Amino acid sequence: MRKKFLVQVILVSVVAAVALTGCKSPFWKKKSGAAAGAETGVPPLGAGGETGIGERPMVSSAGALQHGQFAPVLFDYDSARIRPSEVSKLEAVAAYLKSNPGKLVIEGYCDERGTAEYNRALGERRALAARDELVKLGIDASRISTISYGKDRPVDPGHDEAAWAKNRRCEFVVVNQ
């Protein structure tokens, strides 16, 4: 009997007020207020000079970096080792830097195979390997900074070994400032 009675008893019924209070609402629950472009003036970490090798040159946008002055250094799959065949390309970069002012940005890239974040580290290791080679050739490390694009921005959009071989690369951009 008791069981039957309990069956009829509704435990709890809650009117769920779905609308949350304004100040706790993520942007998508507000009528306006997309995050578009808003960046507040919180200074970067260690304002006025982060430590590390290779101070960043002032570059307004990635489009301001002029590619093509030097031949890209190419890499084996999943490797950041400078192949002996590529050293002469680095010697050309070093020769230019010895007789010209300016800073150098080395961009490290990977082919599209492999996971995204791992390739960001791999692209950085390629750029750093090229930098280390230039330092051996007598270039001051403080003139060189690195950007890893991972598998973004391939130079060849193809999906075969010929394209991949071109995309596993470092590019060199001189920034005069």
Partner 1 sequence: MKIGRLAYILQFVMVSVLISSSAATASAQVEVVKGRRSFGVSGFAGDAAIAGQVTDVLKNDLRLSGYFALGPVSSAEFVQTGTVRGDRANLTVECMVMQQATKKVVLSKAYQGSAQDLRRVVHRLSDDIVQTIAGQRGIAQTKIAFVWARNGVKELAVMDYDGHNPRQLTYDRSISVRPRWSPDGRKIVYTSYKNVFPDVLEVDLYTGQRRRLATFPGLNSGAVFSPDGSTIALTLSKDGNPELYTMGADGGDLRRLTHTRGGESSPTWSPDGQTIAYVSDDSGAPQIWMVGRDGGAPSRLTVSPSYNTEPDWSRPPSGSDMKPMLALTSRVNGRFQIGVYDRSSGAVQPVVADDADNEDPSWAPDARHLVFMKSQRWRAQLYLLDVVTGEQVQLPAVEGGASEPAWGP
| Minimum CB distance to partner 1, residue 39 (Å) | 5
Nearer to partner 1, 92 or 175 (CB): 175
Rounded CA separation 150/163 (Å) = 15
**Nearer Cβ to partner 1 (33/138):** 33
Give residues in contact with partner 1 (CB under 8 A). Answer: 7-8, 10-21, 23-28, 33-40, 42-45, 50-56, 59-62, 65, 78, 80, 112, 114-118, 120-122, 124-125, 128, 145-149, 152, 159
Bridge partners (DSSP) listed for residue 175: 103
Side-chain-side CA neighbours of 96 within 13 Å: the count stands at: 17
Q: How far is the CB of 150 from partner 1 (least distance, A)?
A: 8
Distance from C-alpha of 167 to C-alpha of 169, rounded to nearest angstrom? 6
Q: How far is the CB of 146 from partner 1 (least distance, A)?
A: 5
Rank residues 80 and 90 by Cβ distance to partner 1 and give the closer one.
Answer: 80
Q: Kindly report the backbone phi and psi dihedral angles of residue 74, in degrees, each rounded to the nearest multiple of 5, phi listed first.
A: -100, 155
Shortest CB 50 distance to partner 1, Å: 5
Chain position carrying tokens 């998508």: 28
User: Is the CB of 26 or the CB of 99 nearer to partner 1?
Assistant: 26
Strand order in the sheet with 103-109: 73-74, 169-175, 103-109, 144-150
